[in-house]
Structure formats: structure tokens, C-alpha cells
Amino acid sequence: MQKITTLLFDLDGTLVDSAPDLAAAVNKTLAVLQRDTFDEQQIRTWVGNGAKVLIERALSGSQQIDPELDSALANDALGLFLKHYQQDVCVYSKLYAGVATTLQQLKNAGFTLAIVTNKPEKFIQPILAKLQIAEFFCSSLGGDSLPEKKPSPQPLLHICQQLNVAVENTLMIGDSHNDILAAKAANMQSIGLTYGYNYGEDINKHQPDWVFDNFADIVSVVMK
């Protein structure tokens, strides 16, 4: 194993449980459109592929997007959703157990930390600031920062170039197959976390280099 100097983190489902605020914004959107609303647990299963996919799943009432879903309706709904979410982006969202103390430990140990998420860029800093972890990260990329998002390797490779760090010295940490597939496509090592938003699918299926149930266990890999 090459010496790891840089850690890339997904946001939703990895650092932050944002499902309560996402669910509230989804339901406000559906209510405006006079569509059926859903409970938070159902909406949790739709989170993880970005805002567009989330709202398309909500309009379809299923993880499988209706192939006949009206694209104009979906675009209108996305605009409404983003408006509602921006108004209340971090009301009920919270950090997962061990996140703040572990980030502090990693930062103190000299690691470079960055965010690579499929969440739109404009939401990242308000969430990090509200949850008081912005200071730990030197850079961030959202799902709309580049032409491609995870599972494309482009965001991971781009941030390595931006930070002037080799891929082999970088580790991707996330909760969904998008994170692991992006890392594999970039020839980057990865850690899969079991507690986030992976649509009920076992993160082991995509064979990350390590799998942990607890965020704090990251330290056991990078600080040997």
C-alpha cells in the first residue's frame, strides 16, 4: 500500500445524515404539484444519485424511474425541489457518529481532506458550515462542478490534479456504489461505509478495499 496523504469524502450518507431535510424538500415539492407524498424512510432509499434522480424517483414513487415520466414535469419539479431545499438545507441534518472527532484527528495528523459529492455545489459549504466541519476541508466538488459526476472517475482525478497529489496516495471514502465505482475507474483505493444511502444494496458487492460499519474505523487504515 502506497502512503496515503489525501482523503476524499462523499458527503450525504458518509459524513452527514441529510435525509430528513431532503425528504422535507421532496414532500413540499410533491405537495405543490398535488402528488402523493412519502415518509422519510421511503425517501431515504432514493437518495444518493443527485437531486435530479431523487426527484425523478419521487415523481415515479419508486427507486425505478418511470420511463414515461414527463421530462418537463421533472424539470419543473427539480426547480421547486432545489428552491425548497435551499431554504432549509440543514435544519434536521446531522453528522454521523464519530465524524467530527475523526476529521479533527485526521487533520491534526497532517492528512489533506476534500469533499467529492454528487450534491449540487451550492449546498456543500452551507452544510459544512452549519455542522461546523468546514475548517477540515481544503476543497470540494459537487455533482454540477464538472461535466461528469460519480461514478465517473472525472471528479476524483480532477481533484487529485487540483491538489497536486498522485492517485496512489489518495483514498476515496463513501457509502454508495457510485463512490466505489468512481474510485475503481480512477485506480484509486477506497473505503466503503455500510450505514449510508446505498439503496439497500450491500456495499461489499462492489469490492471496496476496506469496509467499515463505523466512520472512526478509517483511522485504522490510514494511520497504521
49: pLDDT strictly greater than 90: no
Give domain limits for the chain: 6-17+94-222, 19-87
| pLDDT interval class at 224 (50, 70, 90) | confident
Q: Which residues pair with 7 in a beta bridge?
A: 113, 171
| pLDDT interval class at 35 (50, 70, 90) | very high
Query: For domain 6-17+94-222, which architecture applies?
Result: 3-Layer(aba) Sandwich (3.40)
10 catalytic, yes or no? yes
pLDDT of residue 201: 84
Which grid cell is 185? 475507474
Per-residue pLDDT tens digits for 101-118? 999 999 999 999 999 999
Alpha-carbon distance values, 199 to 49, 75, 196, 203, 206 (Å): 10, 23, 9, 10, 13
pLDDT of residue 1: 62
Active-site position among 10, 21, 175, 179: 10
Query: For domain 19-87, which architecture applies?
Result: Orthogonal Bundle (1.10)
